Structure formats: structure tokens, C-alpha cells
A = this chain, B = another copy of it.
Amino acid sequence: MISTLFYKSAVATQPARYVLMASHGIGPGSWISRFWRNNQRNISVIEQGIKDSKLPRLCHTKTYQKLTRNVSGNVVSLDLERMVDSTEDCSVNKFTNRTHNCGELRTSHVDQEIVICGWLEFSRLNKFFTLRDGYGSTQIFIPDELAAEVNLNNIPFESILRVEGKVVKRPKGQENPRLPTGEVEVVLGNVEVLNKARNRLPIDIKEHNKAKENLRLEFRYIDLRSTQLQRSLRLRSQIIMKMREYMINQCGFVEVETPTLFRRTPGGAQEFVVPTRKPGHFYSLVQSPQQFKQMLMSGAIDRYFQIARCYRDEATRPDRQPEFTQLDIELSFTDRDKIMTLLEGVLASSWPVNGEPLKVPFQRITYAEAMNRFGIDKPDTRFEYELQDVGGHIKLNPNLTRGLDEQIFGAYAIVARNPHSAAPTSLKKTLETVSKEHKNCRFVLSAVTDNWLKSSIVNLLGDEVARKLQNHLTLQPGDLLLLGFGSRLETQNLMGRIRLAFYDSLESRNLVPLRSSTDQKFLWVYDFPMFAPNEETGHLESVHHPFTAPHPEDFPKLHEKTDLQVIRSQSFDLVWNGVEIGGGSVRIHDGALQKMVLDEVLQIEHAHLQHLLDALECGCPPHGGFAVGLDRYIALLCSAPSIRDVIAFPKSSDGKDPLSKAPVPISEEEKKLYHIRTVDVS
């Protein structure tokens, strides 16, 4: 079983270079043919057991076979690669003054005269040095006859060198199996210092010696040389390209660039403003291309997508960036399920991480089911411990419902089976803290013992309820019961948080399997409520956005404006391992309905959206679309802790740029040009 596969190894970008991380027991079986089917480039093979496969026949060019086995734990690293013949045009060396890069030399290059360029990574005794670039590292041997004239002792590390030399096999015993180039070295013929670096660089790029993040952001161009960032940025480019190939070449979509200088969208996030030469008049930077893509539908660009730059001034939310990227999609004459299928195709065709192709279709559940089973609208389905609805039992004891209407009362249980019964004090405290934040419901934790029916919980539940619960949940001595009841929505939220906190605790105590960030637990959640009250003002707001169409079955309620909060919309989210990575909806295409929703339900001044209303009224097809947060999605693919790790030049979490120090003061002339003055806050 392959556990991890990259399109390209961390340091290689030759189109045909792959690194497979595979568990032991690789055979000539189906994984390799699946890998083939999913990768249209040439690779050669590689392993004793699969020498007889048909793969070599598929290779167009002269190939070499090589296997690096690197047993570490129960994981075997398989280096699958097509070795590039020196006579062949290696794409990443095209248009450069090198013949090879620092990651590609192998025994097949022995005796060739080569030129490589890169960063001086390390040198020892003026006998050896290593040269590094974005593709790898190569060892250079300084022959005695050159040692007098070549003195690298005065050349600071990270200086840029150009090396001419001849490839030789390393002497027996000196091979480095951890380095792809580790079987060879280059005997120096000539070295030229192209650009000397400062004597001591402010940060180190080595993984084990990492500086604090802010310092790394300040010297981002140095940090970018690290294996991790090289891999993330190169992988990001590859994934987005695969998405484009699928959208354009396979599905006939048109990529359209829409403006970012626009006017304010009412009812959304805080938008940056841009003053203009017209006094008092401002552009706003778009928070998404939503209005433009709907107008494109009216404009007969019926299959639109864009890798779109979006802007939100959300200084306070963690791990956000003032500018970010989304895969933005819209199409006409479609429906919810078709959009879901399209997105599954996009992700499957660009799926890079697992040797196993992405399994589609994804599971699809309603918002109501998600809340009932997981207490959250973005369930992490990598583990069980689902909520069980025990409302019917709990409400037999009127003391427990405390007068709550049957309609809004709810009770949910999570049962952890033996041997999880012992809850440590830290867990109890955590759960208590969580439960205290939910005022309108109650949480109890109870270890099931032999004479549980005589325990204190029975005082609370009453004899009948406790007995029924014991039967219904088949509680056994050793089990742990987590029970919440009260206002239903709030109890769901509470138990959703309890479920996650409980599993975190089990995981930290090694009582359950670790959740893997590369698990394929994708899930569609649909039929969200259309409106929900703002927590502060109590006014109804759109759960998705104001352009979302209502569920067809709930049209009458919307027109009568009764039960507005139970109206479902045609919106849906895509959830991966408990993280929402995108959302979409079928839109309102009827101008009168859109106006009614804006005016009468949301009370948003429709003058701000007159152009969109006009577009709906001038011949607009039914349409719908989706947006994927690409920074977040790619960070998850790279198992990166923050979206900053997959963005070339991110701002820090407070919106500042440690590199350029932006934002900065501007001149008075510039303020005058834009008719603004800074208001002194002091």
C-alpha cells in the first residue's frame, strides 16, 4: 500500500520524476497500473518484483532503472524515476547556462562533462563541497591539483557558484543512499563565484535549525530555499495546473479574469477600500467574484471558472490572509448534484497526495443529519463516536425538559465503549469548560459501572429514563456515557464540541488511532438553512450568501414569509477531515425573487446590487456554482500547519508584511492626489 505519492519529489521538477513512499510488500499488483493510469508521463520501473510489468514498454525515451530502498520503520521509500539521458533536452535546464541541475546526476551520467549552478551549501577542508539548488544537492570533489588555486574557505555559504566538472562514481563505501545524487560526485574542473553572499545570513534554511516565524517571513527569500517550501510551492503550481487542465481541456470551461476594483458588496465581510482621484469616491477590493460570475451566466459564458484573488479585511480571524486565492466556478443549466460531481472530478483529477486515487463520489448528507449525528456542519468523519438521539427517552422525565417545547428540546448521547471508561481529570475539566459555554443545555459524564443504576446520575435522570437509556444504548460496565440535553440546536453544538474534545483526549493518550491528515474523509453537507439570526442584532442573515436559491420544497414558506428560519437553501459545503474547504449553491435567477429576499427578508438596500438585479431580469439562465479555498486546501494537502506555508510571500497574522514592512506611511502629496487626510486618533 502506498501511503504518500507526490507528483514530483520534494526537490525535483523534471516532469517525469516521482517519489513514492510505500509500505513494504510492494508487488506487481494493481497499484502500479493505477499509478500509471493516473500519471500520463513516463516513468521507468524499478523493482525486482515488477521487472516484468509492461511499463518499460510505455517509456518513449531511453530510460534507466533504479531503486533506492530506504527502510525506516515499516515504510519503504521507493525512488521511481526516469533517468534523463544526457543527450536529451531536460526541460528545467532549457534556456539556462547549466547542463544539469543539482538534483539529477546519477551513475548514468558518469564520465560526462557537466555544468551546474547553485548555492554553496557546505564545504569541508577545501576537499569537498556541496552545491544545492531547488532540485537537489550534488557533491563536488576538489582534486589535489586544483586545491591550491581553489580556496573555498573564503567563500561564505549560500554564495552562488558555477561548477564545471566531470561526473564520477563515488568510491566504494562513500555513497550516500539518502541523497538521490548520492552514488556520484563531480570532479571539479573549474569553479566561478557568480555572486558572493554575506558572511552570515540572518536565518538558516535547515529544518532542524529553524528561526521563529516572523524572522523567517522577514527573510522569506532565504526560507524559500528550504525543502518544505520548495515542495509546497512546486506542488501548489502542479495541483492548480491539473485543475485547469480538467476544467478547460476535459470540461470546456472558460477561464475569465474578473475585476478586483469594484464597489462594495452589502452584507458581506469588511472590504478594503481604494481611494480614487474623484474626491470621496472609492473602489472596494472584491471579497469574491460572486456578482461577476453571475453576470457572466447572464452573458452566455455558461461554464466559467477562475483562480481568483480575493480580499477581506478580517484582521481578527486566525490564519487568514488579507488576500487569498479561491477556485471559483459557475455554470448554467445545472443543479446541486451536478455541481458536486463536477467538483469531485476537479479534485480527483488534480489529487496528488495518495498513491490511491481519490475515491469519488463523496458521501452526501444533509445539514440536519450532520447536526444530528455529529453536532457540527463540518463533521470530522475520520472517527466514530457519533451522537445518538435520546430525546425520546430523556423527555419522559418532565424535570429534564424544564418546560422546553417538544419542538425545540433535544438530548444526545455519546457512548465510549470499554476500555475508555476512565476519564482523566484533565479531560473532565476540558469538557466542563466546553459545556459551561452552552447556557441552554446541560452536560453530564458518567462512567458505567456494575451498579450504575444506583449511581448518582440516576438521581438526575430518574429511574425510568436511566433504565431505558441503559437498554437503548446497551450500556455495559466499563463504558463511558457523555450526555447532553436542553435546547436542541445548542445541545447539538455542545455535543459536537464534546465529541471532538473527547477524541483529542483519547488520541493524546494513544487510546485510538491517530487521525491522518491525508485521510480521504470527504463529505458533502447540503440543505443548509437559508437564514439565521445575527447573534448580536437578531436580524435574519443569509447563512450562505444573499444570492442563494431556496430549496424548491420550501418556496411556499418563503413566499408566505412564515417559518423563515426553517427554510432550507440549495447551498452545500465540501468538508475534508472536519475542515470546510469550499461552499457553493444554486443561485436565485429570478429578479423579482432576489429583490424580495433582499428587501423584505434581509433588508439590504437593493440599490447596491441594481446591476445584478438587472442582469437577472435581462435573460439569465438558472445557474449555480462553487468556490474552493485553495490556500487552505493546499495547506491540508501539504500537511502544513498554516496557510502561510503554501503562500510564497504571506502577511503575518496581523496583516503586516515583515519583509517589506508594508503597510507604511505615504506622502502628503499622495494623500492629496486621492483627496484624503489621515485622521489623528490621539
- A618 touching B221 in the complex, CB below 8 Å, given contacts A254-B234, A300-B133: yes
Residue from B301, B341, B651, B677 in contact with A677 in the complex, judged by beta carbons closer than 8 Å: B677
A237 at the interface (CB under 8 A from B): yes
Interface string of A243-272 (1 = CB under 8 A from B): 011001111101111111111100000101
Nearest chain B CB to A279's CB is how many angstroms away?
5
Interface string of A279-298 (1 = CB under 8 A from B): 11111110000011001101
For the complex, what is the distance from the CA of A615 to the CA of B225, rounded to whole Å?
12
A148 at the interface (CB under 8 A from B): no
- A274 touching B285 in the complex, CB below 8 Å, given contacts A95-B331, A220-B299, A251-B94: yes
Residue from B13, B237, B248 in contact with A237 in the complex, judged by beta carbons closer than 8 Å: B248
Q: Are A648 and B678 in contact (CB under 8 A)?
A: no
Residue from B134, B657, B666 in contact with A300 in the complex, judged by beta carbons closer than 8 Å: B134
For the complex, what is the distance from the CA of A333 to the CA of B115, rounded to whole Å?
11
One of A191-199, A502-510, A532-540, A546-554 at the interface: A191-199
Nearest chain B CB to A664's CB is how many angstroms away?
5
Contacts of A277 in B (CB 8 A): 313, 315, 655
Contacts of A159 in B (CB 8 A): 619
Q: Are B619 and A95 in contact (CB under 8 A)?
A: no
User: By CB atoms of chain B within 10 A, which of A220, A221, A284 has the most?
Assistant: A221
Q: Are B98 and A333 in contact (CB under 8 A)?
A: yes
- A300 touching B117 in the complex, CB below 8 Å, given contacts A254-B233, A274-B273, A657-B262: no
- A618 touching B219 in the complex, CB below 8 Å, given contacts A260-B309, A281-B663, A678-B676: yes
Q: Are A273 and B275 in contact (CB under 8 A)?
A: yes
- A296 touching B662 in the complex, CB below 8 Å, given contacts A194-B621, A195-B621, A254-B234: no
Contacts of A664 in B (CB 8 A): 263-264, 281-282
For the complex, what is the distance from the CA of A222 to the CA of B620, rounded to whole Å?
10
Contacts of A31 in B (CB 8 A): none
Residue of B nearest to A649 (CB): B259
A160 at the interface (CB under 8 A from B): yes
Contacts of A234 in B (CB 8 A): 254, 301
Copies of the chain in the assembly: 2
One of A69-77, A165-173, A471-479, A667-675 at the interface: A667-675
Q: Are B618 and A259 in contact (CB under 8 A)?
A: no
Q: Are A333 and B257 in contact (CB under 8 A)?
A: no
A418 at the interface (CB under 8 A from B): no
Q: Are A298 and B257 in contact (CB under 8 A)?
A: no
A451 at the interface (CB under 8 A from B): no
Q: Are B117 and A333 in contact (CB under 8 A)?
A: yes
A432 at the interface (CB under 8 A from B): no
Interface string of A85-97 (1 = CB under 8 A from B): 0000001101111
Contacts of A663 in B (CB 8 A): 261, 263, 274, 276, 278, 281-283
Nearest chain B CB to A94's CB is how many angstroms away?
6
Q: Are B611 and A659 in contact (CB under 8 A)?
A: yes
Q: Are A679 and B677 in contact (CB under 8 A)?
A: yes
A577 at the interface (CB under 8 A from B): no
Residue from B14, B248, B252, B677 in contact with A252 in the complex, judged by beta carbons closer than 8 Å: B14
Size of A's binding interface in residues, CB under 8 A: 137
Contacts of A323 in B (CB 8 A): 259-261
Q: Are B648 and A258 in contact (CB under 8 A)?
A: yes
Q: Are B649 and A295 in contact (CB under 8 A)?
A: yes
Contacts of A291 in B (CB 8 A): 660
For the complex, what is the distance from the CA of A334 to the CA of B92, rounded to whole Å?
12
For the complex, what is the distance from the CA of A346 to the CA of B618, rounded to whole Å?
40
Q: Are B647 and A257 in contact (CB under 8 A)?
A: yes
Residue from B134, B273, B325 in contact with A301 in the complex, judged by beta carbons closer than 8 Å: B134
A164 at the interface (CB under 8 A from B): no
Nearest chain B CB to A613's CB is how many angstroms away?
11
Contacts of A544 in B (CB 8 A): none
Q: Are B258 and A649 in contact (CB under 8 A)?
A: yes
Contacts of A513 in B (CB 8 A): none
A356 at the interface (CB under 8 A from B): no
Q: Are A13 and B618 in contact (CB under 8 A)?
A: no
Residue of B nearest to A621 (CB): B160
A125 at the interface (CB under 8 A from B): no
A335 at the interface (CB under 8 A from B): yes
For the complex, what is the distance from the CA of A391 to the CA of B451, rounded to whole Å?
115
Nearest chain B CB to A14's CB is how many angstroms away?
7
- A300 touching B659 in the complex, CB below 8 Å, given contacts A248-B237, A285-B274, A619-B201: no
Contacts of A648 in B (CB 8 A): 256-258, 292, 296, 299, 301
Nearest chain B CB to A164's CB is how many angstroms away?
13
A240 at the interface (CB under 8 A from B): yes
Q: Are B282 and A666 in contact (CB under 8 A)?
A: yes
Contacts of A285 in B (CB 8 A): 274
User: By CB atoms of chain B within 10 A, which of A95, A244, A313, A661 has the most?
Assistant: A95
Q: A91-B250, A159-B619, A282-B665 are in contact. List 9 more A-B contacts (CB 8 A).
A: A94-B342, A119-B619, A133-B300, A221-B296, A221-B614, A222-B619, A229-B299, A257-B648, A274-B285
6 pairs of residues in contact across A and B, judged by CB atoms under 8 Å: A97-B338, A133-B300, A160-B622, A195-B589, A240-B255, A677-B677
When A and B form their complex, which 7 residue pairs have the shortest distance between CB atoms, in order from nearest?
A224-B299, A92-B252, A158-B619, A263-B662, A281-B663, A197-B619, A221-B298
Using a CB–CB distance below 8 Å, which chain A residues touch chain B? 13-15, 91-92, 94-98, 117, 119, 133-134, 158-160, 162, 194-195, 197-198, 201-202, 219-225, 229-230, 233-234, 237-238, 240-241, 244-245, 248-252, 254-264, 270, 272-285, 291-292, 295-296, 298-303, 307, 309, 311, 313, 315, 322-323, 325, 331-335, 338-339, 341-342, 589-590, 611, 614-622, 647-649, 651, 655, 657, 659-666, 670-681
